[in-house]
Amino acid sequence: MEGTTSESTAAISTRALTKHYGSVRALTDLTLDVNSGEIFGFLGPNGAGKSTTIRTLLGFLHATRGSATVLGLNMVSDSVEIRRRTGYLPGGIALYDSLTGEQVLDYLVEMQGREPKRRAELCDRLELAGSVLRRKVRDYSRGMRQKIGVVQALQHDPELAILDEPTEGLDPLMQQAFYAILDDLRSEGRTVFFSSHVLSEVERLCDRVAIIRAGELMAIHDVGELLARRRRRVTLRWRGAAPDPATLPGLADVHVDGSRITANLTGEVAGFVRSIASPNLEDLTIEPASLEEAFLEYYAPGDASGSEATDR
């Protein structure tokens, strides 16, 4: 199975993790491993079960059944030790409005019982100047609060960062700064598990991605492989009539409109380009592979089981 490694090297390992609220199945039989040192994306729309998974791993919710280890520690019996070695950014983080940003960070790192080794660097990269940190949180914009959230999660240099939709509210510049921070964490051997419904950031950051839908794991993929496998949308325009599409290799869902052919390219790009080389070819557009198509494949109505069967 592509998504499974041995538990000894896994930063997070879940086995049939399930959380039901009465008849509501928030999470069902989630089995996955997150390798140490990787950035693992947990992708799904709102209500898919991403936050439920995270909250169960951190002990906020009690699993209906199944088990999990985090950093080799039992999710239930070692919850406090797990949180000592973990940094967590909740989705839509709430902070203490009556404190300044600096007081919030001081308070939370003291509660963590660790030195804020990374705080200065993180504040610098996220453009949290001293004058900003000395302002009350109640005066912060949503983006500022999110930055404080990121800093509180990472300031003590955790071995594992669990981030629930971390870029919510960050402007594009800050998102780039945040991505760079995660890249550095990965290069230092830290593990990052983050949930998102933003495909582009998963594509940009993650080594692997799990796709979850209605509380069930649909697939776990290596992001590079997934992108390589993606169908690319191809548009060709010819001088004169278009050739017979059957003579063009690797095309599917072909649509011919006079001199114009649009299709999905399922095969290798280089071979395809060689095969169409012709003086009559006037224009060629190959749209970049996007994770969005993969995502839509898993979330197309009534098309869950097929994907699950082939990819898990």
Partner 1 sequence: MSWRLFAQTLRWQRVRLSVVVLAGIGWGVLMPVVYDAFSDVFRDMANSGAIPEEFLNFGSGSLFNLPGTITLGLQHPMAIAMVGIFAIGASSTSIAGERARGTLEVLLARPISRTVLYVSMSVAVLLTVLIVLLAILGGMAGGAAAIGLSDELDLGRMPLVLLNGFGLWAAFTTFGLAMSVTFDRPGPAIGLSLAWLMLHYFLEIIGSLWSDAAWTQEYSLLHHFNPGEILTGKLDPIDMVIVYAAAVIPVIYALLVFPKRDLPAPA
Q: Which residues bind partner 1 (CB under 8 A)?
A: 21, 51-52, 55, 58-62, 79-81, 83-84, 86, 88, 90-96, 98, 107-108, 110-113, 152-153
DSSP category for residue 207: S
Beta bridge pairs of residue 238: 281
Work out how close the CB of 30 gets to partner 1 at its nearest, in angstroms, rounded to a whole number. Answer: 17
Q: Which is nearer to partner 1, 103 or 264 (CB)?
A: 103
Q: Which is nearer to partner 1, 82 or 263 (CB)?
A: 82
End-to-end CA distance of the chain: 7
In what side-by-side order are the strands of the sheet with 260-265? Answer: 251-257, 260-265, 232-238, 281-286
Work out how close the CB of 295 gets to partner 1 at its nearest, in angstroms, rounded to a whole number. Answer: 23
Q: Which is nearer to partner 1, 99 or 281 (CB)?
A: 99
Q: Which is nearer to partner 1, 110 or 253 (CB)?
A: 110
Q: Which is nearer to partner 1, 62 or 142 (CB)?
A: 62
Q: Which is nearer to partner 1, 79 or 264 (CB)?
A: 79
Q: Are strands 260-265 and 232-238 parallel, antiparallel or unpaired?
A: antiparallel
8 within 8 A of 72, measured Cβ to Cβ: yes
Work out how close the CB of 189 gets to partner 1 at its nearest, in angstroms, rounded to a whole number. Answer: 22
Work out how close the CB of 91 gets to partner 1 at its nearest, in angstroms, rounded to a whole number. Answer: 7
Work out how close the CB of 84 gets to partner 1 at its nearest, in angstroms, rounded to a whole number. Answer: 4
Work out how close the CB of 36 gets to partner 1 at its nearest, in angstroms, rounded to a whole number. Answer: 20
194 within 8 A of 166, measured Cβ to Cβ: yes
Q: Which residues of 151-190 are buried (b: 16+ CB within 10 A; e: fewer)?
A: bbbbbbbbbbbbbbbbbbbbeeebbebbbebbeebbeeeb
200: region left, alpha or beta (phi > 0 left; psi from -120 to 50 alpha): alpha
Dmax (CA) of the chain: 73
Torsion from C-alpha of 221, 222, 228, 230, nearest 10 degrees: 20
